[in-house]
Structure 1
């Protein structure tokens, strides 16, 4: 039997409801189960919400190899969001315990009713490009033909994005406080 093809996927995670850091730490733990190789994880950043109600978000980017198809991956990500209490209501931009978006699925272009890859608004969002540039600065956007670093540089996205720390260090500090 032929081995399933492994694809490098790039995700952005965000949380602006509940214990944001715990939500991200828990989600990264769950994502490890979908990966066929170790995850690359960016630092955590705090950002103001964009098109969503509620307080500031914690965001981070993650990449890993997976043998899941894009639709199957989306299904698993929606299950993870739901397990963290994510409520989805049509037309509502509610605060989110956890939001996981697929930015890239390899270099594939996918446009369907539930999934569009590359993520259609990622190039205009500092809260996506800043953490993504830590783990994939040279990755080339398959539609725009520019690297993540180039998109970040062109956008001038420094305002409103605050570095919080490396996830491993924040996790260690969280354990010390307990």
Structure 2
């Protein structure tokens, strides 16, 4: 479990939360490889990761179930530099962008980056769909239960509004 989010953790590090998802090419291994890559991220410190969760696909239902997790890192990278690093990890693990909400080897999304609020053609922070996605909120609450979003909303209140939709803990990583 990590402390509440702060835009400036210490020494110019920013606390960021990253969603991890996979449903192709051995999703458990894909998620674990991504976690290992996050542990060695440049100008960053790996803080925590949730359990692995199994969830139904959000988009087309004729695809395998997903394995999801949320990781916490403190980083000196800007949000765009972090996005570039995450996309590099995705590409290294065989990510191909074909279909919106389609099956994928790996999806790494920046959920929160300090108190940053931004919307550019490449990146929206906080992540635009995080408030209603059980496969994001429940793993996030596991590692940051007291989290308050930049808009002032409390994570525990979002959970009260978000059904689990058959989301289950697949594997505890501790």
TM-score (normalizing by structure 1): 0.86
Counterpart residue number, 1:115: 123
Residue 93 of structure 2: which of 80, 84, 103 is its match?
Answer: 84
Residues 72-99 of structure 1: CA deviation (Å, up to 9, x unaligned): 000010010011111013x543311100
Give SS of 1:133's match.
helix
Between the aligned partners of 1:147 and 1:93, the Cα distance in structure 2 is 27
Between the aligned partners of 2:100 and 2:32, the Cα distance in structure 1 is 26
Change over 3 Å in CA distance of 1:152–1:115 after alignment to 2: same
Structure 1, unpaired ranges of 5+: 169-178
Residues 13-67 of structure 1: CA deviation (Å, up to 9, x unaligned): 0000011111011100100112633321101110000025511000001001011
Counterpart residue number, 2:3: none
> Which protein, 1 or 2, shows the higher relative CO under an 8 Å CA cutoff with sep ≥ 6?
2
Structure 2, unpaired ranges of 5+: 1-9
Q: Does 1:42 align with 2:50?
A: yes
Q: Which runs of 4+ in 1 moved over 4 A?
A: none
Q: Does 1:158 align with 2:167?
A: no
**Matched ranges for 1:29-178 at <5 A:** 29-34=36-41, 36-52=44-60, 54-89=63-98, 92-143=100-151, 145-155=152-162, 157-168=163-174
Count of aligned positions: 163
Counterpart residue number, 2:26: 19
Give SS of 2:40's match.
helix
Between the aligned partners of 1:147 and 1:135, the Cα distance in structure 2 is 14
Give SS of 1:167's match.
coil
Between the aligned partners of 2:90 and 2:159, the Cα distance in structure 1 is 27
Counterpart residue number, 1:171: none
Residues 9 and 65 of structure 1 are in contact (CA less than 8 Å); yes or no, is this contact kept in structure 2? yes
The CA RMSD over aligned residues, in Å, is 1.7
Between the aligned partners of 1:37 and 1:74, the Cα distance in structure 2 is 16
* Larger Rg belongs to: 1
Between the aligned partners of 1:137 and 1:93, the Cα distance in structure 2 is 27
